[in-house]
Amino acid sequence: MKLTPPHLPPVKWALPLLILLTFAAGAFLRLYDITDPPLDFHPTRQLFGAIRARAIYYQTAPGIPQWQREMAYSQLTNEAQLEPLLLENLTAYAYQFTGEEPGVGRAFSGLFWLVGGLFLFLFSKQLHQSTLAAYLTLIFYLFLPYAVSASRSFQPDPLMVMFILAFWWAMQHSLRATGWPAWAWTALAGLLGGLAIYVKLTAFFFVAGSALGLLLAQGSLLAAIKRPQTWLLLALGALPGSLYLYDGLVANTFLAQHFGNRTLPELWISPFFYLRWLDKLDNLIPLMPLVLSLAGAHLFANPRAQTVLASLWGGYLLFGLVQTYHIASHDYYSLPVIPMAGLGIAPLAAEMVRTAWSRADRALLRVGLAGLGIFTAIAWMSFAYLNLRLDDYRQQAAVFAEIGEVLQHQPGVVALTTDYGYPLQYYGWQPTSRWPLAESIWNFERDFESRTFEKVFFIVTDFDELKRQPELAARLEQFAIFTETRDYVIYDLKQPAQP
């Protein structure tokens, strides 16, 4: 009997299959336990969006108690609107099919990050002229631990990054095309860059930096200025953000009070500012991979890639000098650095892989090398998965919901609590006035009298902060305890403590 060897997939399918498996693993990490309350990664920012999505949904959702509908709207209008509510409106629309679940917004963020990964892979492949370098860029972008956490968060930044990466890809194609295709690619690039800036105005620095780098890599800047496509790119890129700024600063002025104290020139000469900035950047990318990325971009990338990456990093440095407050206090403001670092480290990593492969002249050594690479990738993904399994914030959310039930959501409450009181607002439906942190108190007696005037209850959930405020702890001991558990204490400001 003649045996027919099993059919093996052709080699040309190996790379697409590998990329598909990589994206599948990335999707799994972003969807695993996505319904866990958004208290893991910058809870203040995530609940900032969740409160808005709920308020939008509750305005038309059936079966909502009137008091919740009104309170949700009040929570929406009492907070600043810093960016267009794109993710919030999309999530609120999805709530019609899923019910209110913040995990929906987090899932959208994960999807945006994955789509951005596809654009990054295509852009890196053309920039480095290497499929291997493009794949290594993708691995870095999808499985860096911070990237996994940030791309599962309910905030507009992953959507912004997706549009930035799509802009890089389209802009690159616009410079390679001629005739009418060049106009079409330029229009597409302008719209994508404009959308990135519209989602979050800070995207301007990463859009402009990449555009300048790609134009310089293509030829002289003077020649680019003479091209009519460049002016179309500028017009389309500037239009959405300009309209939003006009609406926020002139027409409705809802942005007018939020542009102060962002640029502090006196910090430019302070070494502590740069140390804080580097500390926040270290949260995203540890120092060694960051150094390797900068070295790889300078030593192993081709001249065109060097120009583009230098311009991107220049745009980021300018961004940090303009946004002095946020760059040194909010690590996620540096989120676009992740694909930038991936683009820098990829040529170095690709060169190391090629060198090791060429020196492993025996088949067994190459099999071992491939196995080591697979093992490393699996270990990296497993580490990210185990980190996700360690966190479960459902009990913490239940505590905030319980506080709201105990107080029956009544006004007249002061709270020493975490995350600016957003967990109490969202899970407890509890309106509160926030008691400040120790460093913000200059005159305790005056602050206590003014902040507790006509208030009925004082909630403490942040016991570590209470230890830093002995005057507050001593004053609260003068009032009767309304309710006390291991997670919180509620003092009755209208009842003195029993002697």
Give pLDDT tens digits for 283-317: 999 888 899 999 888 888 899 999 999 999 999 99
Q: Please state the domain extents for the chain.
A: 108-390, 394-496
pLDDT digits (tens, 9 = 90+) for 212-251: 999 998 877 787 788 888 899 999 999 998 888 887 777 7
The pLDDT assigned to 3 comes to 45
What average pLDDT does the structure give for the chain? 89
CA distance 15 to 213: 30
CA terminus-to-terminus distance, the chain:
99
% of the chain surpassing 70 pLDDT = 91
CA distance 51 to 184: 39
CA distance 266 to 345: 33
pLDDT digits (tens, 9 = 90+) for 92-148: 999 999 999 999 999 999 999 999 999 999 999 999 998 889 999 999 999 999 999
Total-model pTM: 0.92
> H or E element: which one contains 48?
helix 43-58
Q: Which residues are paired to 483 by β-bridges?
A: 490
pLDDT band at 8 (very low <50, low <70, confident <90, very high): very low
CA distance 314 to 307: 10
What strands lie across the sheet with 413-416, from one edge to the other? Answer: 433-434, 413-416, 457-460, 489-496, 479-484
pLDDT digits (tens, 9 = 90+) for 346-387: 998 888 877 766 666 655 555 665 566 666 667 767 777 777
The stretch 426-442 carries a mean pLDDT of 93
Q: In terms of pLDDT, which residue wins out, 334 or 254? A: 334
CB 165 within 8 A of CB 120: yes
CB 29 within 8 A of CB 384: yes
CB 470 within 8 A of CB 438: no
% of the chain surpassing 90 pLDDT = 70
